[in-house]
């Protein structure tokens, strides 16, 4: 409520809220004036009706409101007024206590950083291969991966169509620790333009597609592949004349059998005709440097099995140790209180 660009909106909400509460209070007060009428003999007179009649004889009586109900309504209005005074609710007013969702979030993040920061910073001082060998670091990295990367690359990091497999040795931009760290921090934008016009007509596209398949010894038409080789010159600027790609610009190697968007003649023709566009977001502002360091080590370890494999037992043991440490920390805090009172790839 505190981020209005125009003060008029804040005033509008303030006025509507206050008038609505006053209106409810006035309505309740007016209805509480209705009393049960009694005759001269002291006996209650027949209850008046609202004048509404349904199904010939069904009428609506006009009984006074029960006092207990009226009191609860008044309490609700008082509670609402106190709440709006203490907390933000009336337009841009911040409330007497100054509470905000952002402030609470920042406090919780600061508390988490205070508790876990030293653990993360310990690994920040180590190089990637060393961190990748550490069971605790790998367990932390795995959970960072599941929270941050698994939505695209999968929980097993083997990717899917359009999302790279991180468990093999095939890297678009390079698989060394420094490059992986840069990819996580800055993200990547991969663009391949449509090459149909540069290659020629539909038949030329089919010929080039067969030539591309021949580079990886995939099933293809050898005659069309021979015809497509000269046309491949239009692709060589990025993929190289040998088709081995260029990691500096993220151009994939066409001579292996790894296909980001799927191999086969139909998929390659689709790629040539329509091009491809893909991106991986930057995590510089969502993950601290220490967390990115741990995540880099985990991802690097996925394709360097001897250096980066973490067993299930090691992961479970680490999580058990963390839970024990948290319980002990909470116990110590209570005891002190008693004492005082008494697209990577």
| pLDDT per position as a tens digit, 137-178 | 999 999 999 999 999 999 999 999 999 999 998 999 999 999
Class of domain 188-280: mainly alpha
The whole-angstrom separation of Cα 243 and Cα 235 is: 8
Residues 99-147: tens digit of each pLDDT: 888 888 888 988 888 888 888 888 998 999 999 999 999 999 999 999 9
- Residue 333: pLDDT band (50, 70, 90) is very low
pLDDT for res 261: 92
Locate CATH 1.10.760.10 in the chain.
Answer: 188-280
- Residue 223: pLDDT band (50, 70, 90) is very high
Decide if pLDDT at 270 tops 70: yes
pLDDT for res 9: 81
Q: Is 223 exposed, middle or buried (0-12, 13-18, 19+ CB in 10 A)?
A: exposed
Residues 178-219: tens digit of each pLDDT: 999 999 999 999 999 999 999 999 999 999 999 999 999 999
The whole-angstrom separation of Cα 324 and Cα 142 is: 20
Residues 74-89: tens digit of each pLDDT: 999 999 999 999 998 8
pLDDT for res 80: 92
In the CATH hierarchy, which fold is given to the domain comprising 131-187+288-345?
Cytochrome Bc1 Complex; Chain D, domain 2 (1.10.760)
- Residue 344: pLDDT band (50, 70, 90) is very low
The whole-angstrom separation of Cα 210 and Cα 227 is: 9
- Residue 332: pLDDT band (50, 70, 90) is very low
Lowest mean pLDDT among 7-16, 40-49, 96-105: 40-49
Decide if pLDDT at 297 tops 70: yes
Average pLDDT over residues 227-233: 95
Q: Check if the beta carbon of residue 308 is closer than 8 Å to that of residue 298.
A: yes
Mean pLDDT of the chain: 84
User: Of the spans 38-47, 87-96, 301-310, which averages the highest pLDDT?
Assistant: 87-96
pLDDT for res 23: 94
Per-residue buried b or exposed e for 102-133, using 16+ beta carbons within 10 Å of the residue's own CB: eeeeeeeeeeeeeeeeeebeebeebebeebbb
Phi, psi of 239 (to 5 degrees): -85, -10
pLDDT for res 279: 93
> 3-state SS of the chain?
CCCCCCHHHHHHHHHHHHHHHHHHHHHHHHHHCCCCCECCCCCECCCCEEEEEECCCEEEECCCCCHHHHHHHHHHHHHHHHHHHHCCCCCCCCCCCCCCHHHHHHHHHHHHHHHHHHHHHHHHCCCHHHHHHCHHHHHHHHHHHHHHCHHHHCCCCCCECCECCCCCCCCCCCCCHHHHHHHHHHCEEEEECCCHHHHCCHHHHHHHHHHHHHHCCCCCCHHHHHHHCHHHHHCHHHHCCCCCCECCCCECCCCCCCCCCCCCHHHHHHHHHHCEEEEECCCCCCCCHHHHHHHHHHHHHHCCHHHHCCCHHHHHHHHHHHHHHHHHHHHHHHHHHHHHHCCCC
Decide if pLDDT at 345 tops 80: no
């Amino acid at each position: 409520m505190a981020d209005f660009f125009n003060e008029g909106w804040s005033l509008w909400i303030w006025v509507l809220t206050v008038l609505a509460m006053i209106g409810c209070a006035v309505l309740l007060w007016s209805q509480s004036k209705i009393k049960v009428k009694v005759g001269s003999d002291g006996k209650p007179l027949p209850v008046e009706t609202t004048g509404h009649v349904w199904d010939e004889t069904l009428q609506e009586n006009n009984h006074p409101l029960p006092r207990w109900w009226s009191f609860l309504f008044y309490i609700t209005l008082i509670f609402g007024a106190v709440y709006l005074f203490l907390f933000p609710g009336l337009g841009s007013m911040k409330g007497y206590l100054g509470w905000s969702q952002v402030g609470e979030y920042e406090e919780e993040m600061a508390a988490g950083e205070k508790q876990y920061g030293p653990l993360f910073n310990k690994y920040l001082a180590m190089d990637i291969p060393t961190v990748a060998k550490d069971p605790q670091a790998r367990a932390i990295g795995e959970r960072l991966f599941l929270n941050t990367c698994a939505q695209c690359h999968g929980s097993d990091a083997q990717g899917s169509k359009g999302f790279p497999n991180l468990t093999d040795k095939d890297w678009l931009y390079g698989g060394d620790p420094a490059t992986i760290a840069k990819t996580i921090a800055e993200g990547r934008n991969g663009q391949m333009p449509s090459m149909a016009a540069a290659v020629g007509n539909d038949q030329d596209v089919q010929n080039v597609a067969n030539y591309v398949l021949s580079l990886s010894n995939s099933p293809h038409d050898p005659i069309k592949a021979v015809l497509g080789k000269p046309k491949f010159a239009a692709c060589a600027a990025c993929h190289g004349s040998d088709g081995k790609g260029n990691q500096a610009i993220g151009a994939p190697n066409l001579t292996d059998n790894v296909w980001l968007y799927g191999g086969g003649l139909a998929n390659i023709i689709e790629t040539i005709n329509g091009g491809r566009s893909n991106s991986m977001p930057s995590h510089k502002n969502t993950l601290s440097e220490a967390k990115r360091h741990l995540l880099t080590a985990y991802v690097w370890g996925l394709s360097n099995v001897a250096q980066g494999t973490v067993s299930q037992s090691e992961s479970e043991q680490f999580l058990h140790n963390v839970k024990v440490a948290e319980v002990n920390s909470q116990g110590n805090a209570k005891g002190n209180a008693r004492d005082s009172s008494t697209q990577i790839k």
